[in-house]
Structure 1
Amino acid sequence: MRSVDDMIVAENLSKSFGAKHAVQDVSFTVQPGRVTGFLGPNGAGKSTTMRMIVGLDRPTSGRVTVDGRDYRRLRSPLTEVGVLLDAKAVHTGRSAQNHLRAMAATHGIPRRRVDEVIEITGLSSVARKRAGGFSLGMGQRLGIAAALLGDPKTLILDEPVNGLDPEGVLWVRRFVRHAASEGKTVLLSSHLMSEMALTADHIIVLGRGKVLADASVDDLVRQWTRATVRIRTPRALELAELVARDGVTVTHLADGLMDVEGAAAQDIGDLALAHGIALHELTPTSGTLEDAYLGLTGDDVEYKTKDI
């Protein structure tokens, strides 16, 4: 069993800015050895929570620890926690190389490590160029390089794939999964549900400053989505009447095509066979993380758009 010293632990964490409650009584544990996705609509409190983890905002109440300690009490932060909160937090007149060298000097990190993270993050060709001229994607790579500089055992990455091309997104996915496989603690936020579904093992969802869910990806999808069976048959109306019962929803999509929720594909197939109904398609589909997320946060978005 892992000790608390290997984890990020938030206990009854709250933060208010005047009358606005950005984070309200939030408790969770980010365990090592897996990628924990940190999700929520804009204004949910994710960034504020991350800032409190690394001591940039002071909690109004409650506490949060990294490796069993307040982040501000860590003797060598860069070698213990790698953080990407704002990739633009760099002197625009410095080159990527000099920016990383300046950071390394504060912790006695050798220059060869700077060269290593530049190569790891694909910055070699622009290492001597001024960061102020970087594209959004290159800025993200520099921010990730800074987070990796001290080879920390904990990584906190806020929207690390923002602005990256497909190759960069794939690299981040592989990297964080490899880091978790080595026993590192990884907290990762993103608005890309499809990417999070491929990357995360566990999900924490915030909404209006409160924890809405804290579960594995599979459990979250299972709890907040319903499996659907796509059916194509020339006797759709007849089969729909046979399938219909409490808890079953039938949606007719086109002539001979319908979706059924609440009934297993095997049961539908057996029922059709028993009544001599030909099936041209019987395709079960499961819900996605995006479906689960939208179902979970539908009432907690700060700004709602109108359906079109």
Structure 2
Amino acid sequence: MIEANGLTKRYGSRNVVDGMSFTVQPGKITGFLGPNGAGKSTTMRMVVGLDRPTGGTVTVNGRRYAQHRAPLAEVGVLLDAKAVHGGRSAREHLVALATTHGIGRRRVDEVVELTGLTSVARVRAGKFSLGMGQRLGIAAALLGDPQTLILDEPVNGLDPEGVLWVRTLLRGLAAEGRTVFLSSHLMSEMALTADHLIVVGRGQVIADAPVDEIVSRVRTSTVRVRTPDAARLAALLSREAGVELASTGADLLDVTGSTAPAIATLAAGAGIVLYELAPVQASLEDAYMQLTEHAVEYRATPPDAPTATSTSTSGAHR
């Protein structure tokens, strides 16, 4: 279990993490989401003692990370898969970690096999692809057979088979009663993997709830219509004030700004047959975008926005 109470980290005059309180429960996968700059990485670093909090506390299994006599046996951590000496082989890297905790070579061999590294165990880590580096990082996190796992972007660089393997692995570990704390920017994968979500923005917790509950909060006003006469129905709907249409297939329309009863009435009056008429279900991505729309620090310039060279520079860049 991971418990944070009023966790704060200040750099200069800015609170990167601003009074966060949350609990990551055992027996489930908890996703950690937020825009770039939201404080996710800093929070994870404070959990494992790499950064010292300015205020508040955070414990793992009832103790601060530094108080555990054998941290690898308590907490498995993957924060940066590149944090490996490039001149060492995968097995040498794992043996070096194991030696610090009195972990036997048999366990090293077990995690090598578990993570699919057997054929490259004696290859220097510096020659690994991004995906193989991730597998080595996961192997290191699993080395001490810990009760708690903290993983930052663990599927980054993995192929579809590798992504499925990680998902299955984490679900199995959670089913054993272990605590799994997982950060990722891949909403589709998080929707398939996580049971619970902690969403942060500008250093504060925005949402802390089961995945289904967070998705159910999304406001949606889009109705999907399937009809063999999509063009004629679209023409009729386009005359309605505030209605927006999107063609998603030869006989499919997504209608925003109207309701299913109103569309059904309009279609019946025109003799248009409807095969399907249903609200579009919100996705985790929809929910995430709504939750964080006012918490994004770094926004890209829209493609059609004027650039600095196409506008007056009078008084600029002073």
Shift of 1:158: 0.3
1:236-247 to 2 correspondence within 5 Å? 236=234
Count of paired positions: 295
Q: In the alignment, residue 118 of structure 1 is paired with which amino acid?
A: V
Establish whether residue 300 from structure 1 lines up as the match of residue 305 from structure 2.
no
Cα distance in 2 between the residues matched to 1:125 and 1:256? 49
| Contact 1:136-1:164 at 8 Å conserved across structures | yes
* Residue in 1 that maps onto 2:245: 252
Answer whether contact 1:250 1:258 (CA < 8 A) is retained.
no
2:113 to 105, 108, 119: 119
Query: 1:82: Cα distance to partner?
Result: 0.5
Identify unmatched segments of 5+ residues in structure 1.
1-6
CA drift of 1:262 comes to: 7.1
Shift of 1:108: 1.0
Distance 1:149 1:256 in 2: 51
Cα deviation for residue 132 of structure 1 reads: 1.2
Does the 8 Å CA contact 1:14/1:24 hold for their aligned counterparts? yes
When structure 1 is superposed on structure 2, of 111-120 and 14-23 the one drifting more is 14-23
Superposition deviation, residue 180 in structure 1: 0.8
Superposed, 1:15-54 pairs within 5 Å as 15-54=9-48
Q: What is the deviation of 1:275?
A: 4.7
AA in 2 matched with 1:220: I
Asked if residue 141 in structure 1 is aligned to residue 135 in structure 2, the reply is yes
Match of 1:88 in 2: 82
Tell me if the contact between 1:44 and 1:209 (Cα under 8 Å) persists in the aligned partners.
yes
In structure 2, distance between residues paired with 1:124 and 1:105: 20
Deviation of 1:98 after TM superposition, in Å, equals: 0.9
Q: Unaligned regions of 5+ residues in structure 2, if any?
A: 304-318
Partner of 1:22, secondary structure, is strand
Summarize deviations over 1:145-191 as a string: whole Å, max 9, x none: 00000111110000001111111111111111111111110000011
Q: What one-letter code is carried by the residue in structure 2 that aligns with 1:154?
A: T
Q: Specify whether residues 105 and 227 from structure 1 end up closer, same or farther in structure 2 by C-alpha distance, changes over 3 A only.
A: farther
Cα root mean square deviation, aligned: 2.3
Counterpart of 1:288 in structure 2 is 283
Tell me whether 1:132 sits opposite 2:135 in the alignment: no
Cα separation, 2, equivalents of 1:43 and 1:256? 39
- Counterpart of 1:3? none
Residue in structure 1 matched with residue 308 of structure 2 by the alignment: none
TM-score, normalisation: structure 1 = 0.88
**d(CA) in 2 for partners of 1:258, 1:145:** 45
Pick the aligned partner of 1:61 from 55, 62, 81: 55
Alignment match, 1:220: 214
